[in-house]
Amino acid sequence: MRPRLKALVSALLVALLLWRVDMAEVGRVLAVASPGLMALAGLLFFLMHVLNALKLRVLLPELRAGRLLAYTLVAQLYALVLPGQLAGEAVKAYRLSRDEGQGQGDSGRIVSAVAFDKVTGIAGLLLLTGGGLAVQSARFGDGLLVAVGLVLAGLAAATVLLAWVPARALLLALLGWRAGPKREALLLGPLRRFLEAWRDQMHRPGRALLSVAGGIAVQVAAVAGSQFLGLAVGIDQPFSVWSAVIGLMSVIVLMPVTVAGIGLREASLVGLLDLVGVPHAQSLALGFGILAFQVMVALLGAVIDLTVLRERRTGMEGAAGRSPD
């Protein structure tokens, strides 16, 4: 979907929410929100990114956690300004492979690790979401739990297929049919390195399980942060409800139909929390709060990109310029 169309979808969703929800009430909810609870929510949201960096280090143990945290925060900037919530992960993979890779093979391994890390993160999200839906089946029904289970099964099947030799060979054969040198250099070569690295990750089940556990920890931090932010605006629900609501919202926002999830995030929160009797004004205030924290993290990522990582790039370019031919 084109960026202009995504912006239009976001604008239409926001307009619909503004029409259906009493904005004066939203303002009153935000005006009396607890600063202490909001600060605690902010700390938990930041912890989520720290855990994400540590989780990626499981797959890239040779890189320092601080460096991975810097790239993780920068990725939040691109996730906000580029169309599609997965754009930030693509930028992180590219930047890490360019700045930290030591050759084509190493770059392929880094890109594969970032992709594998995202898959295990989604798996952790789905597992916690499924647990919340199972506990709260009387409120959400069984249909959503079945859907989450099917998505999780499909994700596991795709992960295994990418590491299965016959499937990889078939994929490369289909893409390589009548391929010339240009396609070999730009597509097939990088894809082979990516798939080899993916197979290596699958041959280390301990790392894979630890990465999934890390994904669950990341989602626990996200849910806990949302729960405290919800308490700040007057929403008092058990952790299991928040696990279901925030997990489903996170899956919905992955759909690349709006700019930075704006409109889709808020509409999904209003709809999902309506199932447990939360007033729309409080749900919309929560959505605005989550967006505000995402913007703050994105701004921090911009500062890091323009200072720490820029200095590193400048130093690397200077060292390359001084090296003999």
| pLDDT in the model for residue 318 | 56
| Average pLDDT value for the chain | 88
Higher-pLDDT residue of 191, 127: 127
Q: Has residue 84 got a pLDDT over 70?
A: no
3-state class percentages of the chain: helix first, strand second, coil last, to nearest 5: 85, 0, 15
* CA-closest candidate to residue 257, choices 13, 1, 81, 12: 1
Would you give the distance in Å from CA 42 to the centre of its chain? 17
Rounded CA separation 33/26 (Å) = 11
| pLDDT in the model for residue 292 | 92
What is the arithmetic mean of pLDDT over 48-77? 93
Maximum mean pLDDT: which of 121-135, 246-260, 302-316: 121-135
What is the arithmetic mean of pLDDT over 139-157? 94
* CA-closest candidate to residue 281, choices 7, 31, 35: 31
Higher-pLDDT residue of 35, 174: 35
Rounded CA separation 157/227 (Å) = 32
Could you read off the pLDDT of 197-256 as tens digits, one per residue? 888 888 888 999 999 999 999 999 999 999 999 999 999 999 999 999 999 999 998 887
Rounded CA separation 76/290 (Å) = 13
Q: Which residues contact 57 (CB under 8 A, 6 or more apart)?
A: 63, 64, 65, 68
